[in-house]
Structure 1
Amino acid sequence: MRKLLAATLGVLSAVGGFVDIGDLVAASQAGARFGMAHAWVLLLGVVGICAYAEMAGRVAAVSGRAVFDLVRERLGPRVALLNLVASYLVTVLTLAAELGGVALALQLASGLSYLLWVPVAAAAVWLVLWRMRFQLMERVFGLAGLALVGFAVALFWLPTDWAALGRSAVHGGAAGQGWGAYWFVAVALFASTVSPYEVFFFSSGAVEERWSAADLADARSSVLIGFPVGGFLALSLIATAAVVYHPGGTSPDSLAQVAQPAVLAFGAAGLAVAALAFFAVTFGAALETGLSAAYAAAQYFGWQWGKWVSPREAARFHSVLLVSVLLGMLVLLTTVDPVTLTEYMLVLSAVVLPLTYLPILIVANDRTYLGDRVNGPLANLLGVVFLLVIVVASVAAVPLAVVTGMGR
């Protein structure tokens, strides 16, 4: 139980990255269109995010400072400002998409238009960010997000051809959809699993929890339990969509259709579980993105920050939190479709990935901050290989989006 509770920071970080509104859509569409042919993308994402989250957690535990806090000091204000602007833009727009996901989950449960729920969702997210303690927040929403395991259970109730699923994972390909679309979906799914805000949130959360060098074992447990769990939940979404939609050649384009495998397996109970799971993961991701935006700004400018600090003592940090939530709400009130916004955000997220991960690799090798706790050969090998993959995805994202018409 102690290990499980220690892992909730990783679970919440992974829920925000692997099964937020972006992955609910991307994973389900990938399974519907290509079967299990993109399972390797999730595996790659899990390995990569574990490598970099471990670095970020170790930096925070040993130095007592979050990664972004060290980026400006290590790389200089100009490079850090570019990092800040890019990450803040992506994070706030992702926050808007997550608020839309919360509103869509409430629409699924109530039947009322999601636009009516947008202000409610924004107010609820702000209230939790303002009043709830960090550790309680991570445990409530990190563990509530595990309701998505219902999709894994649904595989045993649905008429699942396990041999066919296995073959499509090992030998799957474009499945008649075209290789351009296949690789666009791969890049989008990859970007959804390694979203920039994940490592900023994880690192800052480690500081919030006052991790020290003595907590490195718990830090690794948080990474090695939390992020694989997120990958497993995303894989369940791919698999159930592959079973329900792929044989008929259709693809889900709404949250209600993403929930359909659970409904077919369990009826009204399945719909209730899906609605609860969607609400929990998108609400948790909204908390994560809101905090990440404020963490990055406060750490760059050297402001007092953190939920453990009273709002009066960290007024600028809490002001950025409020402004970020309001901006996200205003984006949605333009009536932009949250699912469409999510698709474009995944492309933009892929483009800025190198700005997030290269500084982490640099800081994790700096003895000024880490002493003898710097990366070893294996961590550096994984970090460099994964960084090369990130660069390839970043370069390919926009051309693939243009050539394939956003993968269609």
Structure 2
Amino acid sequence: MRLDYQKVAVFGFSARTGLALVKYLSKFNLEIIVVDSKTREELETLIARVDSKNITFDLGGSGDKILKSDLIILSPGVPYDLAVLKEAREKGIETISEIEFAFRQSDAEIIGVTGTNGKTTTTEMLGAMLSDLDGRSVKVAGNIGIPFISIIDQLQAGEKVILELSSFQLEAVKEFRARIALYLNYSPDHLDRHHNESNYKKAKKNIFLNQRENDYAVIDLDDPYLYQLKDELEADVIGLSSKMQDADLIIDHIRAYYQKDNVNLLDFRKIDLPGEHNRKNAAFAALAAYLTGQSLEKIQMAAAEYKLQSHRMEYINNKKGYIIIDDSKATNPDAAIKALKTLDQDIILIAGGQDRNADFSDLASIIRKKVKTLILVGETAEKLALLFKNDELELIRAENLKEAAEFGVERLNQNNTLLLSPACPSWDMFASYKERGKIFKETVLKNVN
């Protein structure tokens, strides 16, 4: 491999993507410019992990040194519309994402997975289904926590790789092409980063960029936005549905049936996944595995053995046998709606978190139908409370998550459910949704037991 650049800038020196990019670029005879808004002191540990001989650091400032580079590669956390990046593009300096750069450096065949919710579950399940494909394991990377650039040296030409793709990663792709592109669902999200729905839609739609007629675009026909998108795509579109009997893949409570080939891809009676949304996630994964050439037996076996990650509709075992569910991964309203739909009435719901300017009106409608007690925390607590000022449900504002969990346990009995499904990110109070879920679990167990 070779790079025809003299100076390459890595914008965003993160512990995963930024570090992986710098390590990869260090193999070439070129100057690397590392830019980050954090100071050298804050990044001292990361800096110590690279050979800084050919690296120029521009830390804690405006990042103007990128204007002297030939190429700028962005970590996912860096917005494409920063003023200094706009200036760079005006000067003719190409600006791309790490996913785009890794794609250009690899001849692997990509199976891409995007969507507002369910990406990680679908990607993991698909990875399990393809863990043994013709005697080889298909690698998984991307938004799941493994930078694509960190594995390309392990990939041979034509070898398959599964990429979980966020809007941040897809925002700055140009030549990227997925052989199979899965778009699971759409709902507005990350509007603090993308500013409006149009920008968010444009970024996500890039998963279909450069696809050809012999590629596959797999979408959920029950999603209104994706349904109207189907006629715009160049690839062979395969539609899933739990409502339309003429869909290519029909999903019900019992099976995922692929009408095109007259085969049952999955028997849901042998799979332990709660909710229609998870059945769809499994069906997406199964179809991608089938299109890749995997046997039906291995697809079904992997789905049957798959367990959801922690903090995704995770049942918390407790001595009293109460139904307590940690769905801390529900970081937007649509995810919380899906969680509520899987449960019966009389729910004690804990919601709220970082304010991303999300629209909570659809969530409010289902809360009125199914929630008996609503406990609110975080930046969005007041905004959510205003939606229910004329409703009869019990409304409680908690100072923090521990207090919210304690209020929830006080009202818990054998006939109701305590659900943490925040509908918001965790970053106003926690480092991650995992930390939020961990504190919830510890608090409820302490108080229940």
- TM-score over 0.5 (shorter chain): no
**Which of the pair has the greater relative contact order for Cα pairs under 8 Å at 6+ separation?**
1
TM-score (norm 1): 0.23
Q: Which has the higher helix share?
A: 1
Q: Which has the higher strand share?
A: 2
